[in-house]
Amino acid sequence: MKRMTRRQTLVGASAAAAAGTGLMPRRATAAGELTVWWTQGFYKAENDAVIAWMADWEKRNNTKVNLTIMNGPDVITKLIAGMQVGDVPDVVHTVTGDRFLVPRAAWNDQLEDVSDVVDSQKAEFTETALLSARLYNVKQKKYSYYGVPTKGSSLMNSVWLPLLQEVGFAATDMPGTQDKFYDFFQTVQDKLRSKGKRIFGLGYSMAAKEADAGNLFHQFLVSYGGVGIVTPDGKLNIDDPAVRKAAITSLERLTTPFKKGYVPPGAINWGDVDNNNAFFAKQIVMTPNATISIAAAQMDKPDLYYKEIITRGVPLGNDGKPVASVLAIAPTIIPKGSKNVDGAKAMLRDFIQPANLNAYLKETRARYLPVMASIVKTDPYWTDPKDPHRQVAVDMGLTQPTVPWWMSYNPAYSAVLSEQVWPQAEANITQRNMNPEQATDEAAKRIKQLFEQYQK
Amino acid sequence: MTARRRSRALNRVGVWLLSSVLLIWTLLPIYNIIRVSMQEKEEVLSTSVFPVAPSPHAFEVVFRQTFWLLETFWNQMGNSFFIGIAVALLTLTIGTLTSFTISRMRIRNGWMLTNAALLTYVIPMSFLAIPFYGIMGKYGLTNNPIAVIAVEVTFATPYAIFIFQQYSASIPFELDEAARIDGASPPQIFFRIYLPLMAPALVAIGTYALLLSWNEYLYAFLLLSGGKVVTVPVTLGKFLVGDEAPWNYLMAAAIIYAIPPLLIYYGVRRKMHGGLTMGGVKG
Amino acid sequence: MVVTTSIESPAAATNTTRLARRRRGTFAADKLWALAFVTPYVAVFVAFVIYPIGYGLWLGSDPASYRSLFSDPVYPRTVVNTLLYLLFGVNLKLLLALLLSGFFMRKGWWTKILLLIFMLPWAVPALPSYLSINWMLNGQWGLINNIIWHVAQVDGPPWLDSHYFALGSVIYGHIWKWLPFWTLIFLAGRMAISLELYEAADVDGASLVQKFTHVTLPLMAGMYLVCTMLSTIWALGDFNAVRFISGGGPALSTHVLATLGIRNAFELGDPQLGMATVLTALPLLIPLVILLMRQLRRSEVTI
């Protein structure tokens, strides 16, 4: 026993010594190295594609790449914390960063200007992609490109065809305009219920967390005419009667079905994955979801992918005219403090060569859309008429009109999104018995406060 | 029936009732982990109470690391062990040295150390997470297991010092004095007399430190990233983000993760409870 | 637990006083050794306690952070939640622990086995347990509502989907995880009470309740108080239960200061705001810490 403890102590002491020496060196990236953080994909192949490309680039350029693949929220958290202490990687690819982090980081002068990288493919990028990447830096008093557009996504609607058929509907029975389209699923639910099936018609995400609820609300806002909530020169325009009315209608249209029992009660707590789960469990007939990930996840089951799951884009407006899709563009950024800015830029310039970008995006199973029109035109993969989902997504996100998220006009809107102001307004209606007008006023009040913190 | 017999019968019913309530209360969440781990992926999202066709499939997936989130599972188990053992050893080393100095070497300002330890003991660990992150950046320790080890040692040591001080009070001073007369130096007393006699306390505190680090999520999550570096709880947290809900894999991995602390706890339980008291894992 | 040990080993007291009397006359060489021996702990304390506290206070010193914190509608709700969590979580848990410790004083094999099983929640790592409770309470697919559905053919309550239920669920999770630990502490406390006291009470014909109120309670009151304070402080810093059981939902209505701080720091991207959030617990924390430190120090020397 005696010897035992002594040995333990010795081991402990040497561990302490090891820890002590570990304290000394700062993690330094040598000039020939790049530290890259990449947001993990939803499929293994997507990660593998990134890993393979990085390995190849490493060889071609004789630069060591330290690649870390993390999930979406982790990337944001770590980057925020890293920026606080000035310990940042050289390249970061984020998926939700365009909403929650990048605009404010650009505003605070925490990102490298990547205009030269973007310019190298400027003719290729779509207008919305360029708009999304152009952000304001308040320290240097200028608009510039602070992110490299990498991939896009907009709202899609996934529908179970078998559930429609069960109550005697066909895919063609789904109406094409906003209110009629979503109301249709209430009818489906009523009919399913009368057959004793405990299924909900609408899978609206309504939780004050992650991205889905915000995606849904803001697409509704645009569909009801509220696209001008922030003007392109960055002014908050929420008191504009048309915008206010659109906000009220959106809130009303999202919360009333919930209160009437057409949306699962748990939706108020759904994370981004949960509406997908509810859909796969056939608890809901349809769910709005950014991207075609629901269908894409079932690609290896041809029956589901080709026959049972239907993807619909954003419905036409109630007036029958096409509505712009709110297109999110995932940026890749170089944080200020990177020790190898030139290397990082060289890597990004190579990565956004249309051919390279296309190869990567195909591995996402078209879950993400190209940010370059030429990719879609030159590679038949994107317009494959046999694929029932991909062409809908491409049509919505590239062919039809799109608008950028409002953070590119004013980073204050990024605070509105991270604080989940609108989903909280929904909860004020469903949980605290406010009416949509009151909830809108309350939200507007908070949004004005947040905008005051971002004065040019 | 006499009053006495009636009251004894009542007593028995009471014990029986309370026992069943306690069993259900304790075992329900644990049954739920096991239940889900034995279901198939699709069945997880159903309204079953018992697994329809219990299968060890999920465990197989975890063992063979065939699900992409679990690709480096054993690596991460290794990290958890490495961090846990390092924390235990460092806590024992620093704790015994400090308590030896305070209580056996009678240094003048020992009370300051005791107070310092007390202060650390009563600070909620999570409240320091934000500054800790910044500080680890300044020490150059981000994404380094040493950062997590340092945090856990910091919060485990005060408790170790208390227990060691309490325990060493029962070791007769005459032993030290006799050794001194024989010309022993403080390190000799420390190694030859103090440590051997403290053995039961060392076991208890070692276990306590190991359990503390096994429970830790927040700091491991904030300070570590990347599949090869993180500990198992961080990966378990990651399951909640994604397009699939492999709760069966999650729960199977959780069970495997829970086995080592269970074995250790039930193995040294007597030593932990006896003589000393039980080590508290700080929440 | 310091308190318990002190009760258990009265020998400690005499030794400590003797120790105090001898606290003079260390040789110079010994002083060097003593210095070398305490250096590791002092280094840890300075590097990982003093520095983070100082840095944290500095981070949270900007008045603008507090202005923006107090204007956030989530904040007042969070304060109320934190207080409810402490009030119910800590007190219910300790009361149950005190009563259960009495039950576990019973002799016999069954009690021993039951205690072994009862300790499980404490030995199982926190994260898996909380994830399990979260999934168990899921309104659609959770075990509890499945059982309710099978037994009564009705939908169970939305455990995690309404504010009060969700807060209750978090409190339940906290109690479930920590009840065994505190029961054990009180069990040790009870064991330290001399059996003769109970025997004397038996001779006087005291009932169970009388024995509890006249013997157990007075002797354990001090300990109970210290445990309440300690448990309150730890519960104040409890991040995992809220994070993994309710996730702060629905609609950010069940956050407590510890989780809101992390959210503000790392989700809203404002570490200063996050630090300000936790620092608003200081008016509660500081008096508790002072009281507790005084109590702990005293109990160490006197009992």
pLDDT in tens, B170-195: 788 888 888 888 888 888 889 988 89
Verify whether the Cβ–Cβ distance C53 to B131 is below 8 Å: yes
Q: Does C51 have pLDDT greater than 90?
A: yes
Measured in angstroms, the CA of C258 and the nearest CA of chain A are apart by 16
C4 — pLDDT class (breaks 50, 70, 90):
very low
Q: Specify the higher pLDDT residue, C10 or A400.
A: A400
Asked if B125 and C237 touch (Cβ cutoff 8 Å), the reply is yes
Domain containing C230 — which CATH number?
1.10.3720.10
At C89 the pLDDT is 96
CB atoms within 10 A of CB A165: 12
A8 — pLDDT class (breaks 50, 70, 90):
very low
One domain, residues B106 and B44? no
Asked if A376 and A405 touch (Cβ cutoff 8 Å), the reply is no
A29 — pLDDT class (breaks 50, 70, 90):
very low
For A375-384, A426-435, B234-243, C24-33, which range has the lowest pLDDT when averaged over its residues?
A: C24-33
- Check if C283 contacts A (Cβ < 8 Å): no
Total structural domains in chain A? 2
The tokens describing C119, both together, are: 């300790």
Closest-CA residue of chain C to A80: C269
Q: Does C2 have pLDDT greater than 80?
A: no
Domain assignment of residue B174, yes or no: yes
At A25 the pLDDT is 35
The tokens describing C206, both together, are: 């005291």
Domain assignment of residue A12, yes or no: no
Three-state secondary structure of chain B:
CCHHHHHHHHHHHHHHHHHHHHHHHHHHHHHHHHHHHCCCHHHHCCCCCCCCCCCCHHHHHHHHCCCHHHCCHHHHHHHHHHHHHHHHHHHHHHHHHHHHHHHCCCCCCHHHHHHHHHHHHCCCHHHHHHHHHHHHHHCCCCCCHHHHHHHHHHHHHHHHHHHHHHHHCCCCHHHHHHHHHCCCCHHHHHHHHHHHHCHHHHHHHHHHHHHHHHHCCHHHHHHCCCCCCCCHHHHHHHCCCCCCCCHHHHHHHHHHHHHHHHHHHHHHHHHHHCCCCCCCCCC
Beta-strand relationship, A148-153 and A309-312: unpaired
One domain, residues B116 and B246? yes
The tokens describing A138, both together, are: 């308040």
For the segment C50-58, the average pLDDT, to the nearest whole number, is 93
- Check if B32 contacts C (Cβ < 8 Å): yes
Which among B41, B62, B83 is the end of a domain? B62
Evaluate the omega torsion of the peptide bond into residue C250 and state whether it is cis, within 30 degrees of 0.
Answer: yes
Measured in angstroms, the CA of B99 and the nearest CA of chain C are apart by 9
One domain, residues A251 and A300? yes
A140: three-class secondary structure by DSSP: coil
The tokens describing A212, both together, are: 């889905």
Q: Does A329 have pLDDT greater than 90?
A: yes
Verify whether the Cβ–Cβ distance C267 to A418 is below 8 Å: yes
One domain, residues B163 and B28? no
Asked if A361 and A375 touch (Cβ cutoff 8 Å), the reply is yes
One domain, residues B140 and B166? yes
Domain assignment of residue C46, yes or no: no
Domain assignment of residue B55, yes or no: yes
Beta-strand relationship, A142-145 and A148-153: unpaired
Domain assignment of residue A382, yes or no: yes
For B10-19, B90-99, B162-171, which range has the lowest pLDDT when averaged over its residues?
A: B162-171
Select the residue from B122, B125, B189, B222 to test the C interface by mutation, using most C Cβ atoms within 10 A: B122
Measured in angstroms, the CA of C263 and the nearest CA of chain A are apart by 9
At C22 the pLDDT is 46
- Check if A26 contacts B (Cβ < 8 Å): yes
As a whole number of angstroms, the distance between CA A298 and CA A365 comes to 11
**DSSP symbols for A183-223:** HHHHHHHHHHHHTT---EEE-----SSTTHHHHHHHHHHHH
Looking at residue A314, the DSSP 8-state letter turns out to be P
Total structural domains in chain C? 1
One domain, residues A271 and A221? yes
For the segment A59-76, the average pLDDT, to the nearest whole number, is 87
Domain assignment of residue A25, yes or no: no
For the segment C167-177, the average pLDDT, to the nearest whole number, is 97
A10 — pLDDT class (breaks 50, 70, 90):
very low
Domain assignment of residue B280, yes or no: no
Domain assignment of residue A209, yes or no: yes
B283 — pLDDT class (breaks 50, 70, 90):
very low
One domain, residues B200 and B136? yes
Total structural domains in chain B? 2
One domain, residues A189 and A206? yes
Share of chain A above pLDDT 90, in %: 76
Verify whether the Cβ–Cβ distance B217 to C22 is below 8 Å: no
Select the residue from C38, C146, C266 to test the B interface by mutation, using most B Cβ atoms within 10 A: C38
Q: Does B16 have pLDDT greater than 50?
A: yes
On chain C, the residues whose CB falls within 8 A of the CB of A106 are none
What average pLDDT does chain A have? 89
Q: Does C298 have pLDDT greater than 70?
A: no
Domain assignment of residue B282, yes or no: no
One domain, residues A197 and A257? yes
Give the pLDDT confidence of A83-114 residue by residue, as tens digits: 877 888 999 999 888 888 899 999 999 999 99
As a whole number of angstroms, the distance between CA A279 and CA B196 comes to 62
Instruction: For helices C143-152 and C126-136, give the axis angle rounded to 10 degrees.
Output: 30
Domain assignment of residue B281, yes or no: no
B242 — pLDDT class (breaks 50, 70, 90):
low
At C194 the pLDDT is 75
Verify whether the Cβ–Cβ distance A419 to C72 is below 8 Å: yes
Closest-CA residue of chain B to C172: B25
Q: Provide the domain limits for residue B146.
A: 71-273
Domain assignment of residue B37, yes or no: yes
Select the residue from A44, A46, A85, A200 to test the B interface by mutation, using most B Cβ atoms within 10 A: A85
At A20 the pLDDT is 38
One domain, residues A130 and A185? no
Domain assignment of residue A26, yes or no: no
CB-CB: which of C16, C34, C237 is closest to B127? C237
For the segment C216-227, the average pLDDT, to the nearest whole number, is 85
Q: How big is the B-C interface in CB pairs under 8 Å?
A: 292
At C155 the pLDDT is 82
One domain, residues B187 and B78? yes
On chain A, the residues whose CB falls within 8 A of the CB of C74 are 419, 424
Domain assignment of residue A220, yes or no: yes
Domain assignment of residue B20, yes or no: yes
Residue B9 exposure: Cα atoms within 13 Å on the Cβ side: 6
Domain containing B151 — which CATH number?
1.10.3720.10
At A216 the pLDDT is 97
One domain, residues B103 and B21? no
CB-CB: which of A11, A23, A281 is closest to B45? A281
For the segment B205-228, the average pLDDT, to the nearest whole number, is 88
As a whole number of angstroms, the distance between CA A412 and CA A394 comes to 30
Q: Does C1 have pLDDT greater than 60?
A: no
At A31 the pLDDT is 54
One domain, residues A172 and A147? no
CB-CB: which of B113, B233, B280 is closest to C41? B113
Q: Does C13 have pLDDT greater than 70?
A: no
Give the pLDDT confidence of C224-246 residue by residue, as tens digits: 988 899 899 989 988 999 999 99
Domain assignment of residue A14, yes or no: no
For the segment B9-22, the average pLDDT, to the nearest whole number, is 90
- Check if C158 contacts A (Cβ < 8 Å): yes
Domain assignment of residue C100, yes or no: yes
CB-CB: which of C138, C247, C266 is closest to A81? C266
One domain, residues B134 and B86? yes
Q: Specify the higher pLDDT residue, C127 or C7.
A: C127
Asked if A37 and A78 touch (Cβ cutoff 8 Å), the reply is yes
Verify whether the Cβ–Cβ distance B261 to C123 is below 8 Å: yes
A330 DSSP β-pair partners: A151
At C65 the pLDDT is 93
Distances (CA, A) of A283 to A185, A203, C116: 13, 9, 41
One domain, residues B53 and B128? no
Domain containing A182 — which CATH number?
3.40.190.10
At A242 the pLDDT is 96
A23 — pLDDT class (breaks 50, 70, 90):
very low
A417: three-class secondary structure by DSSP: helix
Q: Provide the domain limits for residue C130.
A: 80-265+277-301
Domain assignment of residue C14, yes or no: no
Q: Does A13 have pLDDT greater than 70?
A: no
Q: Does B212 have pLDDT greater than 70?
A: yes
At B276 the pLDDT is 44
Residue type, A333: I
Measured in angstroms, the CA of A279 and the nearest CA of chain C are apart by 13
Measured in angstroms, the CA of B170 and the nearest CA of chain C are apart by 6
Domain assignment of residue B46, yes or no: yes
Per DSSP, which regions of A238-386 are E strands? 284-290, 309-312, 325-333
Distances (CA, A) of A113 to A74, A90, B146, C44: 24, 13, 34, 41
At A164 the pLDDT is 97
At C154 the pLDDT is 83
On chain C, the residues whose CB falls within 8 A of the CB of A431 are 162-163, 250-251, 253
- Check if B33 contacts C (Cβ < 8 Å): yes
Q: Provide the domain limits for residue A245.
A: 155-313+419-452
Verify whether the Cβ–Cβ distance A23 to B146 is below 8 Å: yes
Which among B62, B79, B112 is the end of a domain? B62
Q: Does A411 have pLDDT greater than 50?
A: yes
Residue type, B59: F
Domain assignment of residue A322, yes or no: no
Verify whether the Cβ–Cβ distance B122 to C16 is below 8 Å: no
Q: Which long-range contacts (CB under 8 A, 24 or more apart) does B45-52 make?
A: B45/A277, B45/A278, B45/A280, B45/A281, B45/A283, B45/B245, B45/C140, B45/C141, B46/A281, B46/C141, B47/C141, B47/C146, B47/C149, B47/C150, B48/C146, B49/C143, B49/C146, B49/C147, B49/C150
The tokens describing B153, both together, are: 């040692």
One domain, residues B18 and B130? no
For the segment C91-118, the average pLDDT, to the nearest whole number, is 92
Q: Does A307 have pLDDT greater than 70?
A: yes
One domain, residues B91 and B224? yes
Which among B62, B85, B108 is the end of a domain? B62
Give the pLDDT confidence of B26-70 residue by residue, as tens digits: 999 999 999 999 988 777 777 788 888 888 889 999 999 888 788
As a whole number of angstroms, the distance between CA B86 and CA A17 comes to 12
Measured in angstroms, the CA of C16 and the nearest CA of chain A are apart by 26
On chain C, the residues whose CB falls within 8 A of the CB of A432 are none
Verify whether the Cβ–Cβ distance B94 to A16 is below 8 Å: yes
Verify whether the Cβ–Cβ distance C73 to A266 is below 8 Å: no
One domain, residues B111 and B128? yes
Q: Does B124 have pLDDT greater than 60?
A: yes
Closest-CA residue of chain B to A281: B45
Verify whether the Cβ–Cβ distance A82 to B142 is below 8 Å: yes
Question: In sequence order, what are the residues at sequence separation of 6 or more whose Cβ sits closer than 8 angstroms to the Cβ of residue A301?
Answer: none
- Check if A42 contacts B (Cβ < 8 Å): yes
For the segment A232-253, the average pLDDT, to the nearest whole number, is 96
